[in-house]
């Protein structure tokens, strides 16, 4: 029965055909943003005065005047109702790595016994959704469960089905952030202020600095029928057991290969719906592993990019089911092949059009380039462990350090040209400050114009410079980009603020010396910047690494350099509460110590729950699938051996049944070990669950529960290769990984 069911599921999955997805008759540029209340629609549905005030809030950070809220809400409602919308929701990002929404209808009593459509400014700007069951790390008591959502006007509202979705922050009654968006907005504000101040050394016209983010979303697709036949995939997002297929990714034939028709139809449908929601999809392709794919957009302002990524992940799941797929965003859904990440391409740009991490054509522009490169390295070096904690999770821990992902040691690859340039600046200590042309001695103006092309890529680097931006390759596929962006931007704000303080102090010192205020030599400002950069280049040098991040030698070298080499996920989370981290977050006004402590409680709790669910599912699969199937096959072998003895003489029967006897013995030994390991796994969970501290409990789960799970998997995977294929109840890797 199980045999027939499994092969029937596989056969049905392979019979599926691509849906005929019809694109709109317009060009993408014409239906882009169809379901978004963008500036064009704002201009149409709002008065000129209200429109100008709202744009001032969005572009210049002006405080939202509650007096315009009613007018904005009325315009939104008119547009939404013309689009067939009947409900609205405050759409926010709790600490669950997903999104949340509670739908309310546009209806109120009309005081005449009927109903009327209503949507006021008060409902737009703020709501009290309660949402007390979301993880909060102890900030909200059961008897003090109020939580408020507040509109983020910098991220446009959009329509999903019949609902107007309003991007919001989510905070506690006492003001602490309970989501990702609130601290992200604070971090973006902090880096804007710090970077704008530093830009004044080079450009007088800069009033604002924007953080740009271009994420690359990797994911797997599996047939829905096969997915439903794997309880581990359904309940944990990954296969907790399964022997690798004889053919997987070793031929490199899937990477950038022809996209299967069914997948192409899914991608086409997804892109149409994404573009209608203003998600600027640009690139799609097959990734390295079978059934693995990637989607990447054009870069956007960081806050909007994060919202779009969260929206896209939700959209992917919906569209995938329409095409008979399930999308897997787990970082390591299959053992033995590449996992999925979410590469975050990060950069800063000034409002005068200058990309701050890009080289220029003049000595002054190249000095600006060096400044922002070095201060980024300072941020990464000083908060090395924190950045690692920002991308770590129970799921991403399976991916990092494998040969398909960067190691969990945060280092930065710069490439030959930038590295040589920084080394030159560091080593030039005896230059003549009176010289009229320091370029020959520190080589700042000689940065090649083609540096963007001259910079190689190092895929073993978690934080690599790629010509005009840094690519943070360590974040996992399923996470909210905001986690790493909060840490990185807050650290960058701190580094730039420190840089300016030290440069200003040196400028004041050098301004008293006549050699810096007269003649044709460089100014006090120039020498002050160079001196501080030289100090910082020396300080952050340990985080620069252009070699092979996968090598054992690098782990030893990184430890010598003082970089974080810890592998335990719960221990890595502790970096959020390092003195340096708390000081940085509080000084940049991104998060308070109370908020950090609460978030760590949530991280440890989520780690425990993730591993706990996996352990329960694995125990169930082992006892109710693996052992019964294995012992059933063992019984067949025993009958075969007994039959041999009834047909042949003893000596010949022993010779002919020798292989089966070995299999019978091996099955007995492996099933016995599985039973023992499952019992030990259960005991380990019980012991860990009695630990009151969630911090210590998470460490116990990592140290005692996870190793038992790995041991059970090893035994089960061996049994999969022994048991007759027709008896095995769970779809195998060779069936899950190849779409036809």
Confidence of residue 86 (pLDDT cuts 50, 70, 90): very high
Closest by Cα among 134, 330, 317, 319 to 236: 330
DSSP label at residue 104: E
CA distance 90 to 149: 7
Weakest-pLDDT range from 150-164, 246-260, 354-368: 246-260
DSSP label at residue 243: P
Chain position carrying tokens 């880096």: 191
Query: Which pLDDT score is estimated for 446?
Result: 36
Query: Which pLDDT score is estimated for 278?
Result: 97
Phi, psi of 100 (to 5 degrees): -140, 150
Residue 415: pLDDT over 70: yes
pLDDT tens column, 223-276: 999 999 999 999 999 999 999 988 888 777 778 888 999 999 999 999 999 999
Q: What is the CA radius of gyration of the chain?
A: 29
Weakest-pLDDT range from 448-457, 460-469, 502-511, 555-564: 448-457
Q: What is the mean pLDDT of residues 444-467?
A: 60
Query: Which pLDDT score is estimated for 145?
Result: 58
Residue 293: pLDDT over 90: yes
CA distance 346 to 223: 34
Cβ atoms of residues 349 and 212 within 8 Å: yes
Query: Which pLDDT score is estimated for 297?
Result: 96
Query: Which pLDDT score is estimated for 447?
Result: 35
CA distance 378 to 495: 6
Closest by Cα among 97, 91, 89 to 170: 91
More confident of the two residues 380 and 429: 380
Query: Which pLDDT score is estimated for 1?
Result: 44
- Return the percentage of the chain with pLDDT > 90, whole number: 68
Chain position carrying tokens 């690519």: 471
First to last CA, the chain: 25
Closest by Cα among 577, 575, 570 to 394: 570
Phi, psi of 456 (to 5 degrees): -75, 175
CA distance 182 to 109: 34
The CA–CA distances, whole Å, from 132 to 100, 184, 609 equal 12, 22, 18
Cβ atoms of residues 621 and 231 within 8 Å: yes
H or E element at residue 283: strand 281-286
Confidence of residue 704 (pLDDT cuts 50, 70, 90): very high
Weakest-pLDDT range from 56-70, 211-225, 374-388, 514-528: 514-528
CA distance 157 to 37: 6
Cβ atoms of residues 216 and 345 within 8 Å: yes
Query: Which pLDDT score is estimated for 405?
Result: 75
Confidence of residue 488 (pLDDT cuts 50, 70, 90): very high
Q: Which residues pair with 645 in a beta bridge?
A: none
What 438-444 contacts at long range (C-beta under 8 Å, 24+ apart), as own/partner pairs, is 438/522, 438/530, 439/363, 442/530, 444/363, 444/366, 444/367, 444/370
Query: Which pLDDT score is estimated for 454?
Result: 46
More confident of the two residues 579 and 113: 579
Weakest-pLDDT range from 101-110, 217-226, 318-327, 426-435: 426-435
Residue 735: pLDDT over 60: yes
Q: Which residues pair with 148 in a beta bridge?
A: 171
> Which residues are CB-contacts of 143 (< 8 A; sequence separation ≥ 6)?
none
Confidence of residue 79 (pLDDT cuts 50, 70, 90): very high
H or E element at residue 510: helix 482-510
The CA–CA distances, whole Å, from 710 to 567, 608, 617, 714 equal 16, 16, 13, 6
- How does the average pLDDT of the chain come out, rounded? 89
pLDDT tens column, 553-571: 999 999 999 999 999 999 9
Residue 3: pLDDT over 60: no
Q: What is the mean pLDDT of residues 194-212?
A: 96
CA distance 718 to 723: 9
Confidence of residue 172 (pLDDT cuts 50, 70, 90): confident
pTM for this predicted structure: 0.92
Weakest-pLDDT range from 22-36, 99-113, 346-360, 467-481: 99-113
Tokens of 621: 């699969």
Weakest-pLDDT range from 281-285, 332-336, 440-444: 440-444
3-state secondary structure of 350: strand
Confidence of residue 309 (pLDDT cuts 50, 70, 90): very high
Residue 450: pLDDT over 50: no
Q: What is the mean pLDDT of residues 518-531?
A: 76
Residue 460: pLDDT over 90: no
Q: What is the mean pLDDT of residues 602-626?
A: 97
Chain position carrying tokens 């949340």: 100
pLDDT tens column, 652-662: 888 888 899 99
Counting DSSP H helices and E strands in the chain, the numbers are: 28, 17
Tokens of 629: 């199937």
Query: Which pLDDT score is estimated for 406?
Result: 80
Instruction: Count CB-CB contacts under 10 A for residue 738.
Output: 16
Residue 190: Cβ-neighbour burial (10 angstroms; 0-12, 13-18, 19+): buried
> Which residues are CB-contacts of 277 (< 8 A; sequence separation ≥ 6)?
33, 35, 36, 158, 160, 308, 311, 315
Residue 521: pLDDT over 80: no
Query: Which pLDDT score is estimated for 114?
Result: 73
Q: What is the mean pLDDT of residues 407-411?
A: 90
Query: Which pLDDT score is estimated for 440?
Result: 32
More confident of the two residues 118 and 94: 94
Query: Which pLDDT score is estimated for 97?
Result: 85
DSSP label at residue 657: T
Chain position carrying tokens 């320091």: 438
Confidence of residue 451 (pLDDT cuts 50, 70, 90): very low
Residue 514: pLDDT over 80: no
């Amino acid at each position: 029965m199980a045999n027939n069911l499994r092969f029937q599921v596989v056969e049905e999955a392979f019979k599926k055909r691509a849906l005929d997805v019809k694109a709109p008759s317009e060009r993408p540029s014409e239906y882009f943003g169809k379901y978004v209340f963008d500036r064009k629609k704002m201009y149409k549905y709002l008065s000129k005065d209200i429109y100008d005030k709202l744009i001032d809030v969005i572009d210049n950070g002006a405080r939202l005047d509650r007096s315009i809220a009613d007018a904005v809400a009325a315009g939104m409602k008119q547009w939404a109702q013309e689009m067939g919308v009947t409900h609205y929701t405050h759409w926010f990002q709790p600490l669950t790595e997903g999104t949340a929404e509670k739908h309310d209808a546009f209806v109120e009593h009309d005081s005449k016994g009927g109903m009327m459509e209503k949507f006021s400014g008060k409902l737009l700007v703020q709501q009290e959704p309660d949402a007390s069951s979301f993880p909060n790390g102890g900030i909200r008591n059961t008897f003090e469960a109020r939580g408020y959502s507040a509109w983020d006007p910098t991220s446009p509202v959009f329509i999903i089905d019949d609902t107007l979705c309003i991007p919001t922050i989510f905070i506690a009654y006492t003001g602490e952030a309970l989501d990702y968006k609130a601290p992200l907005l604070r971090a973006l504000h902090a880096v804007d202020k710090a970077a704008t101040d530093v830009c004044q050394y080079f450009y007088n016209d800069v009033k604002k600095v924007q953080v740009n983010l271009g994420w690359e979303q990797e994911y797997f697709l599996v047939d829905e029928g096969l997915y439903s036949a794997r309880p581990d995939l359904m309940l944990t997002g990954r296969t907790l057991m399964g022997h690798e297929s004889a053919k997987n990714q070793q031929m490199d034939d899937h990477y950038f290969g022809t996209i299967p028709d069914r997948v192409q139809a899914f991608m086409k449908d997804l892109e149409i719906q994404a573009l209608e929601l203003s998600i600027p999809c640009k690139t799609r392709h097959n990734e390295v592993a079978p059934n693995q794919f990637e989607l990447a957009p054009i870069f956007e302002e960081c806050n909007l990019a994060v919202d779009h990524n969260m929206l896209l992940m939700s959209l992917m799941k919906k569209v995938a089911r329409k095409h008979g797929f399930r999308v897997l965003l787990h970082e390591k859904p299959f053992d033995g092949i590449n996992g999925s990440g979410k590469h975050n391409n990060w950069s800063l740009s000034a409002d005068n059009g200058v990309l701050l991490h890009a080289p220029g054509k003049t000595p002054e522009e190249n000095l600006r380039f060096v400044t922002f490169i070095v201060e980024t390295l300072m941020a990464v070096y000083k908060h090395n462990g924190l950045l690692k904690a920002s991308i770590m999770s129970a799921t991403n821990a399976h991916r990092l350090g494998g040969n398909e992902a960067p190691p969990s040691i945060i280092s930065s690859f710069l490439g030959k040209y930038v590295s040589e340039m920084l080394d030159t600046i560091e080593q030039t200590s005896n230059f003549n400050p009176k010289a009229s042309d320091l370029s020959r001695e520190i080589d700042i103006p000689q940065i090649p114009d083609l540096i963007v092309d001259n910079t190689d890529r190092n895929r073993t680097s978690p934080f690599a410079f790629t010509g005009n931006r840094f690519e943070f390759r360590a974040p996992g596929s399923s996470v909210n980009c905001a986690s790493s962006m909060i840490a990185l931007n807050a650290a960058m704000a701190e580094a730039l603020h420190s840089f300016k303080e030290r440069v200003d102090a040196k400028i004041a010192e050098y301004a008293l010396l006549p050699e810096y205020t007269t003649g044709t030599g460089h100014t006090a400002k120039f020498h002050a910047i160079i001196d501080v950069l030289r100090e910082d280049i020396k300080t952050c040098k340990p985080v620069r690494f252009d070699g092979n991040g996968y090598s054992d030698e690098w782990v030893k070298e990184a430890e010598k350099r003082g970089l974080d080499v810890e592998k335990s996920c719960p221990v890595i989370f502790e970096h959020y509460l390092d003195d340096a981290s708390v000081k940085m977050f509080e000084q940049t006004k991104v998060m308070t110590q109370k908020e950090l402590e609460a978030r760590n409680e949530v991280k440890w709790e989520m780690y425990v729950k993730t591993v706990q669910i996996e352990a329960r599912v694995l125990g169930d699969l082992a006892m109710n699938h693996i052992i019964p199937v294995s012992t059933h096959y063992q019984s067949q072998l025993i009958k075969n051996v007994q039959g041999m003895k009834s047909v042949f003489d003893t000596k010949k029967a022993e010779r002919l049944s020798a292989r089966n006897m070995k299999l019978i013995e091996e099955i007995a030994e492996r099933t016995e070990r599985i039973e023992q390991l499952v019992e030990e796994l259960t005991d380990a969970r019980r012991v860990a669950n009695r630990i009151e501290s969630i911090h210590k409990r998470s460490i116990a789960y990592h140290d005692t529960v996870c190793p038992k799970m790995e041991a059970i998997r090893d035994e089960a995977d061996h049994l999969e290769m022994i048991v007759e294929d027709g008896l095995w109840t769970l779809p195998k890797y060779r069936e899950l990984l190849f779409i036809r």
